[in-house]
Structure 1
């Protein structure tokens, strides 16, 4: 390997084949997993060839159809929506099917959940999703009062999702790890919610940025992290493409079963060239399957 390659990158290349062979999934199995097929006795192997479409939000605003076609042509198998850009979920589901894609998860603003969770559930079902994800809290909600109220809301919404054959998940950033009057919000949410009703989408970049060890959460809350966001971090802490930074993805993915991982979605919030970014990150992901 080139002498200038970073130690993390060297580990990434050397561990990928040996450490992650068990997470590889044949194409047919990925598609079955994407459409929600489950065995009653075994959990499907995880698929990490998904894309969070927030990365391509500017392109989606210009043309949903052209952008999704590019995503499929790049080699992704699943997408996670962050807004529908004026399209009906049922229309998007047909479009995805024609492209060989599926949307096992979608983000919905907490404001929509609070206003009409039944409508959110209906949209997710029309899209063909399995997971309804709460992606973000406005700064006005990041206070101890709201954090203490939120678990009850999540449990209620999670029950509505379960009754409709769906699952509810909460996506983290780094602000959930800022002390709130002696409490850690992320722990409040995990401890205050029913493990059978509320799951979590772990964003590995934001965990790294907050100085958190994902493994400690997998050990303490096994099976509660079926969704992951895959984006890397530079040594200085900036976002970068998967495999281009310091996060040891093979080591984390070796614990996929304990975490309960089902789907991993590539994302980069601030990509200057989003189409190039998603190609680079998918190439990094594909190393785990070589």
Structure 2
């Protein structure tokens, strides 16, 4: 069974205020065994805290973030390749992940291919070091150019680059997550587990529309924004079917993630997601 962990972006504010070491203590108290590090500066001090937390609390540092060039989210591979490898080996980390391709690479098939060609040598070199580079998707990765999804372009041009599949974004992109996992079986190493709910239409928005204070275009903007990130088990995703399919597709880690908690304490949201996953056997 894949190891269950947390995408630490959910506790970014706590990392800034309390430090990484203390946050790893809190992660362990939530009955989670691993973390994915994202959107924090990978300073020597932070890496030291990760090493101490791993040793003291038994939390795996399962994945960290990388980019091709600075600035960006994680180790810049063109200038800090050796440092990234050294950090992975020190922390027992077998996965680096790219959180998103540049927006410019999403504009055409040729641009996407060019980006993937840049990534492939880094992914191949990391593989030689026992480290797997994964690409994290959003809904835009289901854009189709000449009958080929961005997903397919990346796999074709950069075969050494595997996937971190965010099942919420697959659903939001209009592809059935079960179909996606089946289509890319063997390449889906990391999974982001977050639900997708549709929130009720706020009464004040309806009243303003009914009173003529909002035109149809303004109202429709609010209407389209009802899709939300949700605690696992609190939305429309079929987790009892999805998680076994993800495991079959090659997943080694499941990371709880919720991009927005809509004013709730992230710890409460994480605990709720964890309890639901426990209730279905994870």
- Give 1 or 2 for the bigger CA radius of gyration: 2
Q: Check if 1:62 corresponds to 2:25.
A: no
3-state DSSP of counterpart to 1:207: helix
**Aligned pairs for 1:192-211 within 5 A:** 192-194=157-159, 197-211=160-174
Q: Check if 1:245 corresponds to 2:235.
A: yes
Q: Check if 1:286 corresponds to 2:278.
A: yes
Contact 2:190 2:252 in 1 (8 A): yes
Number of aligned residues = 243
Distance 1:233 1:217 in 2: 16
Q: Please report how far the alpha carbon of residue 67 of structure 1 lies from its aligned counterpart in structure 2 after TM superposition.
A: 1.8
Distance 2:184 2:42 in 1: 35
Distance 2:237 2:11 in 1: 23
Partner of 1:81: 37
Is there any run of 5+ residues in structure 2 with no aligned partner, and where?
70-75, 199-225
Q: Please report how far the alpha carbon of residue 276 of structure 1 lies from its aligned counterpart in structure 2 after TM superposition.
A: 1.0
3-state DSSP of counterpart to 1:255: helix
Partner of 1:276: 268
Q: 1:101 aligns with which of 45, 51, 59?
A: 59
Residues 95 and 69 of structure 1: CA distance in aligned 2, closer, same or farther (over 3 Å): same
Partner of 1:26: none
**Aligned pairs for 1:96-175 within 5 A:** 96-111=54-69, 112-144=76-108, 145-175=110-140
- The CA deviation string for residues 97-152 of structure 1, in whole angstroms up to 9 with x for no partner, is 20121111112234312444333323322332110101123424432243111222
Contact 2:104 2:111 in 1 (8 A): no
3-state DSSP of counterpart to 1:246: coil
User: Please, what is the CA RMSD of the aligned residues?
Assistant: 2.0
Q: TM-score, normalised by structure 1?
A: 0.77
Q: Please report how far the alpha carbon of residue 191 of structure 1 lies from its aligned counterpart in structure 2 after TM superposition.
A: 2.5
- The CA deviation string for residues 191-237 of structure 1, in whole angstroms up to 9 with x for no partner, is 2232xx22100001111111112222333322110110000010342
Distance 1:134 1:102 in 2: 19
3-state DSSP of counterpart to 1:222: coil
- The CA deviation string for residues 248-290 of structure 1, in whole angstroms up to 9 with x for no partner, is 0111122134311110000011123211111111111111227
Contact 1:93 1:102 in 2 (8 A): no
3-state DSSP of counterpart to 1:68: helix
Q: Please report how far the alpha carbon of residue 85 of structure 1 lies from its aligned counterpart in structure 2 after TM superposition.
A: 5.9
Is there any run of 5+ residues in structure 1 with no aligned partner, and where?
1-44
Distance 1:84 1:96 in 2: 18
Q: 2:250 aligns with which of 249, 260, 263?
A: 260
Higher relative contact order (CA 8 A, sep 6+): 1
